[in-house]
Every structure is written in C-alpha cells, then in structure tokens.
Amino acid sequence: MRSLTILLAAISAVTAQQAGTQQTETHPKLTWQQCTASSCTNVNGEVVIDANWRWLHDSSGANCYDGNKWTNKCSTAADCASKCAVEGADYAGTYGATTSGNALSLKFVTQHAYGKNIGSRLYLMNSATKYQMFTLTGNELAFDVDLSQLDCGLNGALYFVQMDEDGGMAKYSTNKAGAKYGTGYCDAQCARDLKFVGGKANVEGWVPSSNDANAGVGPYGACCAEMDVWESNAHSFAVTPHPCQNNAYHVCEKSGCGGTYSDDRFAGDCDANGCDFNPYRMGATSFYGKGKTVDTSSKFTVVTQFSNNKVAQYFVQNSKKIQMPNSSVSGVSGNAVTPDFCTAQFKAFGDRDRFSEVGGWSKLNSALGGKWVLVMSLWDDHYANMLWLDSTYPPEKAGQPGAARGDCPTTSGVPADVESRLASCSGTRPTCWRCSTQDLACEWDTDPDTSRVGSIRRRKDELERENQDLHEFLRYLYARPEEEAVEIFKRLRMSGDALQVLEFVRSGDLLLQGRPAEQSASPGDSAMTNSDGDGDVRAAGLTVPASPWTTLANDGVVSELMASFFAWDEPFYLAFVDRESFLEDMRHASAETAEFCSPALVNAICALRSALLILHVSAAADGTDRAGRLFLLAAHDMAQRLVLPAVGGSEGQQRRRRVYSKALWGMYTFESIFAFMYLRPSLFARPSMLRLFLDDVPSDSREDGTQSRKLSVVLNAACDLSIIYNEAMQYNKRVNVEDLGSHHDIQKRVELFAKLRSWRESISYELHDGEVGVSAYHLRRGVILCSPNVAPELMIARAYEDQVMLSIFRPLKDDVRLPEDGYVADLLLAYCERSISGIETYEQDSPTKELSGMVLHSLYNTVITTARLLHLPKSHELFSRACRLLRDRASEYRFVGFLFQGVLAIAAGNGEQIPEMAKSSFKGLQLDETTLKDVPISFVLPFNGERKGQKVQEDGGIHLGDLISNWSWLSITD
C-alpha cells in the first residue's frame, strides 16, 4: 500500500526484479509456541516486511518508483520486472519494526535519514525463504495485544491470507525475490495497490493516489481468501472471514477485481465485506474500550477458535476469562460467527449477502482447512478513514441498524491528521506549562504507558482489595482466641503496618498456620471439624493428629501441611522421609514408641510447608544457608553412623531396611539436587545399599499400593538422575579450564548428555500412566509433558533433569557449537524455557499456588544462567519471566532479595544492563547496608568470561555472598 523512497549512491549491479544487494536482508527473529492439549513447544521463527514497502531501484541505484509514481526507468510490466529490484530492509531504523523474544512492536510513523515511513505489513516466516503455513480448522490462536496508544483511524491487524508459501516464486518465473523479500501478498479486497502482481510490475495504467503520497492503484489485483482474526484499535474491533470462489492466490484485472479499489465493490469473486462480528455493532457498546469490560488501556489476550461452521473468540485480562457478549440486535442471536449468525445479520442490517454469493460456508470451511500465512500490520485508511471499524459507517446511515461500529466521531480517522499527529509525537511525556517555565521536573501519578482512566480503575481495585484485607484483619482480632489476638495486636504495635501483620498471620508467622479457627488445638481434638466451614479444613485423603507431635496448630491445619509436604516435597525433593512409616507412627500418636516420627520432624515439616536436612532447606530459603550448612553437615555425620538392620530377620527388620534404604538414597538424591547451588558433587556418597524401597508394598499398607509404587518408581528415577549429575560434576571438578571446549571435552559432555537422554527414554516406559496411574502426565518422545492436573513429583523430575543438563553444558562458552544440538546458548535457553513454561502453566491452571522448594532451584538456575547470557537479546524475555516468577515469591523467601542483588552484580561485572522488561522485578528489594557487608549466603556462581579481579573458590566459582558484598561496597564507594 505504501512504499518508501530512498536514494543511495554506489549500488551493485542488479539484472532482474527481485533482490537488491545494497542492504543485507536479515529477518528479525520472533518466537512463538505450537501447543497440543498437554504441552507447548517453542518455535523459533522470523518476520519479513512486505515487498511493497521496500526501496525499488535499478542497477544504477536510481528509483524505479518515487513517491506514489513509477519513474521513467521502466515503462512496461516486463521492462520493470527485468530492470528493477526490491532491496533489503533496515527493520528498526526505517520501518519501526522490532522484535524481542515473542513480541513484535510496530511504529506507525518512523522518521529516518531519508524521510518517513508510514505503517507496515509483516509476515511470519518458517525459514529465511518460506512463510510459516497454518491450518486453522480444529485449532485456536492466542496472542497478547497492547492497544493503549492506538486511537481512532488506526488499525492494528492480525489476520491470515492464502498466499503461496514461497511468495509466488514457483508459480511465476519472473519473481526472483520470493518470500525472503515479502512478495506475493493477496487478500479478499483483490489488492490493486501492489507494485508487483503475479511476478510482473503493475505499472501500465498505474494511477497515483490523490490523498496518499506513497500509494496508487494499478490495473491488476491479487485475490485470495482472507480471515481477519483481529482488526482493532483502542475503540473497536472486528473478527471477519472473507471467502472467495477461488480461495487460492489468483490475479484479477481492473473493474473485474471488485473490492476497495473498484467502482463496483462486488464485481470480483471474493467477499470484500465479509461476515463480521463487532460487539459494538451488535449492541454491546460497553464491552470493549478504555475502562470497559475488556479494558484497552492495558494489555490483554485474544483467543480465537476455528471449527467447521464457526469462528469464536474470547479474551483473558488480569487472569480473568471474558466471553464475547451475545448479540442484542433484534433477530440476531449468538456470540460467534456461524451460518445462522451471518444470515440473520445480513437480513437485520439490510446488507447484501455477498458472503453466500461467493460460496458461503462451504468455501470458507474449505479455506479454513487449507494453508494460510499469518499477517501482522499497522495501517490507516485513505478510502474510508477507518470509519467502517470504529465509527458510524456509512455516516449518512447514522441511526440505522448496523451503522454504529464504534464510538469514534465520523470526522476522525483522516489519514493526514492521523499521520501528522503521530509524526509530531516523540514518544516522551509532555511537560506542563508551570514546570517548563520554572524549569522544574514534572512528577506524574501514572505510569508512562498508562492512561488516566486505566490508572484510576487500577487504584479503585487496589483500594477495594485493601478495604477487604483490613476487614479480614479486624475479623482476626475479634474472632481468634484471646491469646492469639493479643499476639496479633503486639505484632501490629511493633510494625505499625496492619496489612503486613495480616500477611504474617495468613502465612503462619504467628504459629496460627494461615487459617482462622474457632478453637485452638488441644490434645483431645484429633477428630475435630467445624461443620459450618469456618473452622479447620481437613486435608483431603490424609488425616493425622497434631498431638502429641506439635502444639502449634490443630489437626486440620497439620493434616493439610502434611498433605502438602507429601504431595510436593517428599516424593522427589525430600524423599528420605518414608511416607508410610512416618504416617503410621504419627497416627499412633505415641512419641515414646514411635520409630520413624518425632516432634522435631513434624515441626520441621510444618515450618517448611507454611530432620536436619529440612532445616538446611529452610535456612537456604531464608538466605542464611551459611548457617544452615551446619544442619547439612550434621545430617551427613549421622548418616555415616547409621547402623543398618541385618539382612533377613523379622518383617519389622525387613521394613526397617526398606525405610533406611529410602532414607539413604533420598538423602543422596536431595544432596545431589542441592549441591548444584555450590557447583560441586554431592557430599553424600552413592549408597552401597540396594534400593529396597522398590520392593512390593506390604499387603497391610494403609496407603494405596498403586500410589506407593508410583512414588517408589519416581524416587528410583531420581536416583538414576543423581548418578548422572554426580558423574558430570566430578568431571567438571577434574577438567582444566584450558581444556573446556576441546574435542575431548565436548565428546565427554555429549556422552553424559546421551546418558541423560537414555534416562529420559527409560522413564517414558517406566512411568507410563497406564502402568502406574500417573493420570496427569503424558510422556511423548521421551519428554515429560505436564497437563493442567499436574503431578507434582513429575513436574519436579523435569526440573531436576533440566538442572543436570545445565551441569553438563553450562561450563562451556555460549558460542561453542555441539555436534548435534546447535550452539550451547541455544540449548541452555531451550531447557530454561522448558522449566519456566512448566511453572507458568502450573500457576495459570492450578487453583492453588503450592509448589515444591525444587521450583526455587529451577528459577534460581534459570535466572543465573540467563543473567550470564544477557549479551544475547534472545535471553531477555526468558530472563524477565524467570525474574517475575521469583519476585512473586520474595515475601516468602528472603533468599530472593539476595539473589537479585547478585544478578545485578553479575550484569554489572559483564558490562550488561538489566533488560527494561525485567526492571520492575528489581524494584523495592533493597537490603540494609549492614546485611550487605557480610551476606550470609554461600551459593556459588559459575565464572563467566575473564576471571581477572574475581575471587576464585576451590570449587571453581564465585561465592554469591562475597559477590554481593563486594559489588555493594563498590557501588557505595563509587
């Protein structure tokens, strides 16, 4: 539609219409996800700008097209095709198109050295020379949009058209540029504003536009089916399918094309109008816009579902699903595009049913099952000022059914006004008269990208939540037993912050364990419940007495904490606690005769979820692992002195051997997981004892045999994984720095990776859901995939697998190329992406937010790994997501604050900046200066690049605490 005229000297010779050689064509990378019912896979794609926007020149560098006219450098279709070439693009500098991870940003007006560019149209690529092709039937498309700055007259569009995969190269011999240069566009308007159609120049009979300085109309048009998923601005949107009698790319001529560029809109073989669903047009005028149900002052998600005879949409904003509203137009029902809806709408609005004339749903269903190219564009309308989208159209039909399509004035959308307004906008916030005249810095009470309406709406929500929280706090004070109420009041007087005290109460900081109860726990209330639902909530499927093990909470709370521990931490992460034996002793409620349960262990588990190894975990989560290592060393010493029961003997002795076997292998597995935080192998040697926990579950077991068998199989898989991990870390400990990346070194790491893959393949059979009842997981191609009903132990297994991969390949430089797996950086980022995606999927789909401490390991590993890769832009989006997930846990784990200080130090040491999209996660986490002088955390970070000036530890890394202290001291002194 619009091209850019650029004049340059010194152009290489070009002999055919296609690719110029002055500017290398480098497509911006754009990741997206391809999903099944159970999982999503990242796809590394790229985007290309349409050939119509590119500089078109001859071999001497002279323009073949200037402004909105063809020059005298060529005169016929064949002449221009042989003499003129489309040039490579500077996407950001010339067209204002940039990508970051899975985000594409488009500027409408971009000033550059040779003029200005207006709008853009880009396509998603599968490779450097082919478009990504999509089949729509039976699938859904989800994407995020931010339309807060898109006002009347603009259209941010995402849609599909049935272009050729190669851009027409195979079909038209004169097309030498192809998809690599964005050729081959078509749509249901049978676009005649294209400079090339069917591989030939559209020059003969070209008429320059009277109101568009960059466009014109030629005699030939390019037609094909079009599926407008999203045509929108901040005021209105529409979803509109456009079938054709011939859905594929084909060429039309002059008035026979129909559509926007012809006198007779219905002369062609495509439905130029389509069957649209616009909520405003269908009577839901308060549904979409700034401050409305779908609030366009902030980002939201659009989900479109395609099936035979139906195209439906819904939205997600602020984690809330919003359904499309039903039509309130008389005679028209439904909230999706269907055959009945289309027929009724055309009748109600008095519109010509061109949709049916070109074949209707028969043609559309055929098209939806075919191949489509994804188009993303930003444009204004020189024919109808975009009134058909966001205002009353036609204006002379104001007040008639179907005319009102949005709340924009009929005088809005004039391209000259829109382009002038945006061209004069620098993107910076304006300064008020008082501040500018008195040379004062303006202070704003809204964020830069937030509208006043959106800011007020969010503040209203915040005040409502605060009001609810304060009422809840008052209920705690008058409803709790006097002793607890006094404790709450004392805390309030100390802190002066009622909301902070409320969080302490909710999380069990006052030993209230998070839920209000009518009565405090007592030794005799082991079966106590409250029928009205305001008291204790008994853990489903697991009930244990609080007494005599703890006096800190009652039966319901303790049962819930135990259920949480055995669901999330015990199966894999803290597997040394034998579930059956522990629960049996606990239920017998006799501390004197118990062998596998103790008050100390019960209280430690309660503290963890709201026994020496567990205390070590708690200390690490609090950011004081240096002190917590005492618990670890003590546990190691006790394990060395453990006396094993003799082989054979009574059933009780055999059971003890199984319990001891699980304890030893569980401690070995746990320590192997935790040892990676210190870049070392496990302190616990590989147990010599057989894995007796795999023996059949005793017939008198109180637990379900299938569940117990499953958990034993999971622990067995974790043991095998720990052996691979320790082999990798022992190798890392031996290898010289100078040998990293050598042929022998890479060969050894590839061998270790092969063992990891073999492990993965083995569990795909051993943990098949048909054998052990893992209903929430499917295992495909040897990769564990998580469904919304997540099995905690398998989610953690995947996180541990990712950690072992890091132990193998993270010591290498990121630009080292592996024989079969590409570059090290790409492999590391792929595994980190898998870890983060799993956590995000769980958070989105789970009604509760319980997670194992292993998730902290996964987030820690991802943040540390991506922080070392910040020099690669493709790491920024993943780094930011991991930081967001960690920041959400900062109030629970003091360690997070220390880690973020360390990340700042890593970035500063590498000369990198924290990505803009991640900066919000680092705000408000300052630690006091006294703490920073001696940070009580001894996790070890891997070296990155030069070691000069860094403190080298025996285990080959830098202590996180030392790094934070040194960096903070330098920051203060600087």
Residues recognised as catalytic = 226, 231
User: Which residues contact residue 336 at a Cβ distance below 8 angstroms, ignoring those fewer than 6 apart?
Assistant: 277, 310, 311, 312, 313, 324
The letter for the amino acid at 421 is: R
Angle in degrees, CA 789, 760, 576, rounded to 5 = 70
Q: Which residue has the tokens 């853990």?
A: 539
Q: Which two tokens stand for residue 597?
A: 């349960």
SS3 assignment, position 754: helix
Peptide bond into 548 cis (omega under 30): yes
Residue 662: in which H helix or E strand, if any?
helix 651-675
Cβ neighbours of 495 (radius 10 Å): 12
Cβ atoms of 623 and 897 closer than 8 Å: yes
In the chain, % helix, strand, coil (3-state, to 5) comes to: 40, 15, 45
Amino acid in the structure at residue 927? L
Burial of 654 (0-12, 13-18, 19+ CB in 10 A): middle
Reduced to 3 states (helix: H, G, I; strand: E, B; else coil), residue 941 is strand
Residues 6+ apart with CB under 8 A from 496: none
Q: For residue 14, what is the DSSP state?
A: -
Q: Please, how many CA atoms are within 13 Å of residue 523, restricted to the half-sphere of its CB?
A: 3
Q: CA dist 302 to 232, 238, 283, Å?
A: 11, 12, 20
Token pair, residue 799, equals: 């996180």
* 632 closest CA partner among 644, 607, 615: 615
Radius of gyration in angstroms for the set of CA atoms belonging to the chain, rounded to a whole number: 33
Phi (first) and psi of residue 703, to 5 degrees: -90, 160
Q: Give the position of tokens 């495909």.
A: 780
Q: Which of 614, 722, 618 is nearest to 665 (CA)?
A: 722
Q: Are strands 154-161 and 196-197 parallel, antiparallel or unpaired?
A: unpaired
DSSP codes of every residue in 532-594: TSSS--PPTT-----TTT-SSS-HHHHHHHHHHHHHHTTTTTTTTS-HHHHHHHHHHT-TTT-
Q: How far is CA 461 from CA 466, 468, 841, in A?
A: 9, 11, 26
Rounded CA separation 563/707 (Å) = 14
Tokens 């080292």 found at: 816
Q: Which residue in the block uniquely carries the two structure tokens 């995606």?
A: 837
Q: Which residues contact 502 (CB under 8 A, 6 or more apart)?
A: 469, 472, 473, 476
Find tokens 């990712």 and name the residue.
802
Q: Which residues pair with 780 in a beta bridge?
A: 783
Neighbours of 649 (CB within 10 A): 11
How far is the C-alpha of 672 from the C-alpha of 674, rounded, in Å?
Answer: 6
Cα(827)–Cα(834) distance, integer angstroms:
11
- Using DSSP's 3-state secondary structure scheme, residue 502 falls into helix
Both tokens of residue 908? Answer: 């500063």
Cα–Cα distance measured from residue 568 to residue 574, given in angstroms and rounded to the nearest whole number: 9
Q: Within the chain, how many helices (H) and strands (E) appear? A: 27, 34
d(CA 647, CA 10): 87
Identify residue 901 by its one-letter amino acid code. Answer: Q
